[in-house]
Amino acid sequence: MDSELWVCDAGTIEYGSALALQERLREARQAELIPDVMLLLEHPPVYTRGRRSEPGELTMGVDWYRAKGIEIFDTRRGGKVTYHGPGQLVGYPIVAVDDVVAYVRLLERALIAALSEEGIEARARADEGPAFTGVWVEERKLASIGVHVAGGVTTHGFAVNVDNDMRPFDWVVACGLPDVPMTSVAAEKGIAAAPSTGGPGEPVGPGGASGLMPCIRKRVGFAVAQALGRRQRLVSLERLQHQVSPAEVGAVSAAG
């Protein structure tokens, strides 16, 4: 199994449930019950704050966001505040690493390779400092990366804007960069996606209108496995259920 990366299309999972699942998978990976694993999924609308988050990033106030149905979580990952929502591909690799900085650079390269297959010329900006971690198209940020390592095994990971509603990024200081323009695969390809304009009273768009997600998910899964030097093996949540707590994974599967 050491030569494999198990890739699981986990559907849509509430953020708190995904956190719990990651922890159970990390424990199983540390105990060598499973090989490296990557969850690919979507979240309902949520803002997550990283270890470098600062006061003032949630400019509208917590109650305003919650009134719009957006949850807020403080996490142990690196980075600052970001948004997850329908139409955005989130990847949580649970992998053994020795060098966290090299691992983050590996994720950037993998996502750039996957986007290249879609005809999008993306780049990393690591030489400009940690605030610019992620994947960019010119000066526009398309994918965010924030990881946490404990006991030599990672949790958290990356988020690729595919065809999600981009307005929630404008309602916070996204990634700690007040003037950063966020973009998506759909926007870069000139394809209509979820609403990107509208008043503050309008709900967050559902995402998925472009039909891009299945292809992007497939490309990203393959690219990350290749970058890690692993053979991709597609597995289900049910398969993971045999390796970690059945109650935990069963609850997540039902939530999805």
Token pair belonging to 247: 């109650």
**Ordered alpha helix ranges (H), 118-245:** 167-170, 185-189, 213-227, 237-241
| Biggest distance spanned by C-alpha atoms of the chain | 50
- Characterize 52-81 residue by residue with b for buried, 16 or more Cβ atoms within 10 angstroms of its Cβ, and e for exposed: ebeeebbeeeeeebeebebbeeebebbbbb
Q: With DSSP H G I counted as helix, E B as strand and the rest as coil, what are the percentages for the chain, rounded to 5?
A: 35, 25, 40
Is 8 known to be catalytic? no
Token pair belonging to 17: 């449930």
Active-site residue, from 28, 81, 143, 175: 175
Q: Is 159 helix (H, G, I), strand (E, B) or coil?
A: strand
Amino acid at 139: E
Q: Which helix (H) or strand (E) holds 128?
A: none
Contact between 7 and 34 (Cβ < 8 Å): no
Nearest by Cα to 130 from 100, 151, 159, 93: 100
- Which residues lie below 8 Å from residue 226, measured CB to CB, with a gap of 6+? 110, 113, 232
Residues identified as active-site: 175
